Structure 1
Amino acid sequence: MSYIETYYRRALGPDAVQRPALEGAVKVDVCVVGGGLAGLTAALELARKGRKVCVLEANRVAWGASGRNGGFVSPGWAARYKNIQRMAGMDQAKELHRLSIEGADVVRQNVQALAAEAKPTPGILGAVRYEATDGLKAHRDWLQKEFNYNVEFKSRDEVQQLLVSPRYYQALLDPNAFHFNPLIYARALAAEIERLGGHIYEGSAVVAIGLGGTSKIAKTAHGSVAAEHIVIASGGYTGNLVPQLKHSYLPIATYVMLTKPNRDLIASAIRTEAAIGDDRRAGDYYRLVDGGERILWGGKITTKTTEPRLLGRLLHKTMVSTYPQLKDLDVEIVWSGLMSYARHMMPQIGRLQPGVWYCTAFGGHGLNTTAIGGRVIAEAILGESDRYKLFAPFGLAWNGWIAGRAAAQLTYWAYQAADLFRERKSA
């Protein structure tokens, strides 16, 4: 299966040759189901320690959300810190935030070693659309005190010099965060796994799975894998292989558009190479690409895959409401991807039974969290640590089926209303 048309697909060039499908019987130490960033990171960490690994991917490496996202890498989780602290306690919440920082470092180190062509650009600007000077300064000070992590406060005047928009007030600039091409990065991880002796099979959907014996079995249409350990890391495209996982996450569609080129017009609005996001649950995230020739703009979520072109018009409307001067900047392509969200908004990372691991539900903050998720699962399999247990408070909560999807959509609309109310108070 080919990659869908996205900005990232265009940058692949001739090395996008599809890997072969699994044929025949294979025996390995660890079988990873899902060739997204979580599965690839787990496989790479294991391969680096000499374990014999294989990855089974139904489509292509990073075919889903792992290769279609905004490309933002920064600490944090999709869940708000206060909610993490409420569920896990103060000390564990701090440890989890440290893990999120480590996850961003894992990606940075892998990019430097393996994927310079992913073109990482430093800086993510977290802008707000309401008066928040005191709150942002307090958050800056808290990050420095608790985690020795430094971000920079930007006043409204400073923000206006970078973002020529009536919408924004203040911001925090994270100079340690960065943005890049996630599909090129994922393919670089895959190539390194293979260099270390691992195997990756594309077009190899797992159609049956046997978890009862000492040796776990994953079957595809034309082959099978026997392994001591199996890791389920299939994200928003997880099927019914493991019902406990299927019933514990919600597949949520997100949307991204790429504008047509117009360097001068774009420069009238956005005057920073840093990526930009805001703190709204119903927020936007965007960045300049191609040296400022285009904007890659993401936002909007739905609980069903809506026709991307319809969402493209809404994304364009949002862009123009933020930057009225960009009203004549047309959209070139729009795409979507399925993320997996648990109801508690934290990743689902853990052991289902001896030899069976899961590493999924990274929607909303996936690039650093997939990295640390893959690492802690690999550490557990290797017997190096039990850090995966930090995620125990965030279990496989029932997703609510159809009612859960409806609740997720209603919650999103409620966040939109709350965001709008807060912004109007500052207007």
Structure 2
Amino acid sequence: MPAPETYYSRTVATPGSRPALTGKIEADTVIVGGGLAGLTTALELARAGQSVVVLEAESIGFGASGRNGGIVSPSFACGNTAIARRVGIRAARELHRLTIEGVERLRATISDLKIDSADPCPGVLHLRRHDAKADLIAHAEEFACDFNYRLEYLDRDALRGLLVSDRYFHGLRDSRAFHIHPLNTLRGIAAEVERLGGKVFDASPATGAALTGAVKTITTPQGQVQARRVVFAMGGYTGALVPRLQRAVLPIATYMLLTEAAPDLLSAAIRTSDAVLDDRRAADYYRLVEGGTRLLWGGRITTRAASPAELARELRREMLGVFPQLADLKTDLAWSGQMGYARHLMPQIGQMAPDVWHCTAFGGHGLNTTAIGGKVLAEAILGETDRIAMFAPFGLPWAGGPLGLAAAQLTYWKLQAQDWWRERRR
């Protein structure tokens, strides 16, 4: 499957691909999947002196990790209330503390590895599209109390100084969150894994898996890896190799577009370098790139990937609904990618069998949660902590297969209708 052209692939700092695995090799751990979850796990294991092999079916960052909006902000796709209902308030707070740690760890990784091409930029705005602020302010106060994490409240006038739009009523600014070039970040992490002695292979899909016994074997079209343990981190591109994983993950498509370079037109509408997220169930998210000359816009989720022309039409409709003054702004590029979602809307991190681990279903959670997921998994493999136990309540339930996809699409349409009605009543 050829990789779609994206803003990130177009601007990648180090073009080129790694070789495919050929022949037979051995390692302490083989990781299937070259996204942020797999690479973070590999990095932490390699730092601990473990020998690691990463197998990527396409190229590093081919999946959601290399095509997303690049926003690094503490969050889970599943709301705090739903998490607390399942695990209790105290455990929910500890889980959320992990996402904050994920923000700081990813920032530190970019800094420590000197991945300058990640181009980290501070600031994320979380905006509300209807006129209700009490719970928003309460959320900011709770964050300050529980986590010593400050969120700045912005009223409508303050927001209009940043975004010339009638859509937004209230907002919170997170100055500790940031946004990045995710594909350059992934390539920088992969390079560090290799510097530490790990091996990273492109064009090496796992076609066979022998997972019983002391030695596990993963087979590719041209090679084989034998290892003490296996980690599966395939996300929205999980195939039939491990049926239990495939049954537990729904592949959900999300869309993005890149506009032409038009700095004057954009500056009349968007007067901030912060990334922007709105409060809808399937939020719009966007940010200026290339020094404010282009707009990167993402949003919508479906159970299928549309054609580039259809992607552009749907996303432009969303963009112009917020900024009608950008009607003359041309679309340069549009693409989609598949995220992995679990039925419970939480990451799935754990052990399926002795020395067989999984780290998946990060759709909607953000790069910070994916990064900390890989870190927590590596800690468990190394016997350093048992923090992975926090994810035990969120296991691998059947996601419903085709019926699950249909239900997900119907749920999304229902939520869209609720958003429309809520905003109409504003």
Shorter-chain TM band: over 0.9
Report what 1:5 is aligned to: 5
Q: TM-score, normalised to structure 1's length?
A: 0.98
* AA of the residue aligned to 2:55: L
Task: Quote the Cα distance in structure 1 between the aligned partners of 2:41 and 2:53.
Answer: 11
Contact conserved, 1:255 with 1:308, CA < 8 A, in 2?
Answer: no
Question: In the alignment, does 2:87 pair up with 1:57?
Answer: no
Contact conserved, 2:75 with 2:366, CA < 8 A, in 1?
Answer: no
Report what 2:20 is aligned to: 21
Report what 1:357 is aligned to: 357
Task: Quote the Cα distance in structure 2 between the aligned partners of 1:202 and 1:324.
Answer: 43
* AA of the residue aligned to 1:381: I
SS of the residue corresponding to residue 248 of structure 2 reads: coil
Q: Deviation per CA, 1:122-172: give whole Å up to 9, x if none.
A: 000001101122221111100000111111000111001111001110100
Task: Quote the Cα distance in structure 1 between the aligned partners of 2:226 and 2:95.
Answer: 33
Cα drift, residue 401 of structure 1: 1.1
Task: Quote the Cα distance in structure 2 between the aligned partners of 1:3 and 1:191.
Answer: 20
Report what 2:341 is aligned to: 341
Task: Quote the Cα distance in structure 1 between the aligned partners of 2:421 and 2:392.
Answer: 35
* AA of the residue aligned to 2:348: Q
Task: Quote the Cα distance in structure 1 between the aligned partners of 2:306 and 2:236.
Answer: 15
SS of the residue corresponding to residue 162 of structure 1 reads: coil
Question: In the alignment, does 2:262 pair up with 1:262?
Answer: yes
Contact conserved, 2:73 with 2:178, CA < 8 A, in 1?
Answer: yes
Contact conserved, 2:311 with 2:335, CA < 8 A, in 1?
Answer: no
Cα drift, residue 366 of structure 1: 3.0
Report what 2:105 is aligned to: 106
Report what 1:38 is aligned to: 37
**1:63-212 residue pairs with structure 2 within 5 A?**
63-114=62-113, 115-212=115-212
Task: Quote the Cα distance in structure 2 between the aligned partners of 1:135 and 1:325.
Answer: 31
Count of residues paired in the alignment: 425
Cα drift, residue 51 of structure 1: 0.5
Moved more, 302-311 or 143-152: 302-311
Task: Quote the Cα distance in structure 1 between the aligned partners of 2:306 and 2:11.
Answer: 26
* AA of the residue aligned to 1:251: P
Task: Quote the Cα distance in structure 2 between the aligned partners of 1:11 and 1:56.
Answer: 24
Task: Quote the Cα distance in structure 2 between the aligned partners of 1:241 and 1:209.
Answer: 7
Report what 1:327 is aligned to: 327
* AA of the residue aligned to 1:243: P
* AA of the residue aligned to 1:227: A
Q: Deviation per CA, 1:22-61: give whole Å up to 9, x if none.
A: 1111110010000000000000000011100010000100
* AA of the residue aligned to 2:219: K
Q: Deviation per CA, 1:351-378: give whole Å up to 9, x if none.
A: 0011000000000123011101100110
Q: Deviation per CA, 1:323-361: give whole Å up to 9, x if none.
A: 110011110000111100001110111000110000000
Contact conserved, 2:238 with 2:246, CA < 8 A, in 1?
Answer: yes
Contact conserved, 2:166 with 2:322, CA < 8 A, in 1?
Answer: yes
Report what 2:374 is aligned to: 374
Contact conserved, 1:35 with 1:57, CA < 8 A, in 2?
Answer: yes
Cα drift, residue 3 of structure 1: 3.8
Task: Quote the Cα distance in structure 2 between the aligned partners of 1:49 and 1:163.
Answer: 46
* AA of the residue aligned to 2:169: Y
Task: Quote the Cα distance in structure 2 between the aligned partners of 1:2 and 1:65.
Answer: 14
Task: Quote the Cα distance in structure 1 between the aligned partners of 2:266 and 2:11.
Answer: 21
Contact conserved, 1:259 with 1:331, CA < 8 A, in 2?
Answer: yes
Cα drift, residue 4 of structure 1: 2.3
Report what 2:393 is aligned to: 393
SS of the residue corresponding to residue 295 of structure 2 reads: strand
- Moved runs in structure 1, 4+ residues, more than 4 A? none
Task: Quote the Cα distance in structure 2 between the aligned partners of 1:126 and 1:104.
Answer: 16
* Unaligned residue ranges in structure 2 (runs of 5+): none
SS of the residue corresponding to residue 247 of structure 1 reads: helix
**1:187-266 residue pairs with structure 2 within 5 A?**
187-266=187-266
Cα drift, residue 2 of structure 1: 5.6
Report what 2:296 is aligned to: 296
Task: Quote the Cα distance in structure 2 between the aligned partners of 1:124 and 1:3.
Answer: 29
Task: Quote the Cα distance in structure 2 between the aligned partners of 1:132 and 1:96.
Answer: 27
Contact conserved, 2:152 with 2:173, CA < 8 A, in 1?
Answer: yes
SS of the residue corresponding to residue 123 of structure 2 reads: strand
Contact conserved, 2:119 with 2:180, CA < 8 A, in 1?
Answer: yes
Q: TM-score, normalised to structure 2's length?
A: 0.98
Contact conserved, 1:259 with 1:329, CA < 8 A, in 2?
Answer: yes
SS of the residue corresponding to residue 112 of structure 1 reads: helix
* Unaligned residue ranges in structure 1 (runs of 5+): none
SS of the residue corresponding to residue 53 of structure 2 reads: strand
Contact conserved, 1:282 with 1:419, CA < 8 A, in 2?
Answer: no
Cα drift, residue 16 of structure 1: 1.8
* AA of the residue aligned to 2:76: W
* AA of the residue aligned to 1:364: G
Cα drift, residue 96 of structure 1: 0.3
Contact conserved, 2:73 with 2:366, CA < 8 A, in 1?
Answer: no
* AA of the residue aligned to 2:78: A
* AA of the residue aligned to 1:336: S
Question: In the alignment, does 2:378 pair up with 1:403?
Answer: no
Task: Quote the Cα distance in structure 1 between the aligned partners of 2:11 and 2:3.
Answer: 12
Identity of aligned residues (%): 53
Contact conserved, 1:30 with 1:51, CA < 8 A, in 2?
Answer: yes
Task: Quote the Cα distance in structure 2 between the aligned partners of 1:57 and 1:288.
Answer: 30
Cα root mean square deviation, aligned: 1.0
SS of the residue corresponding to residue 362 of structure 1 reads: coil
Task: Quote the Cα distance in structure 2 between the aligned partners of 1:305 and 1:268.
Answer: 32
SS of the residue corresponding to residue 335 of structure 1 reads: strand
Contact conserved, 2:217 with 2:225, CA < 8 A, in 1?
Answer: yes
Q: Deviation per CA, 1:197-240: give whole Å up to 9, x if none.
A: 00001100000000111111100011111111100001111111
Moved more, 231-240 or 113-122: 113-122
Report what 1:423 is aligned to: 423
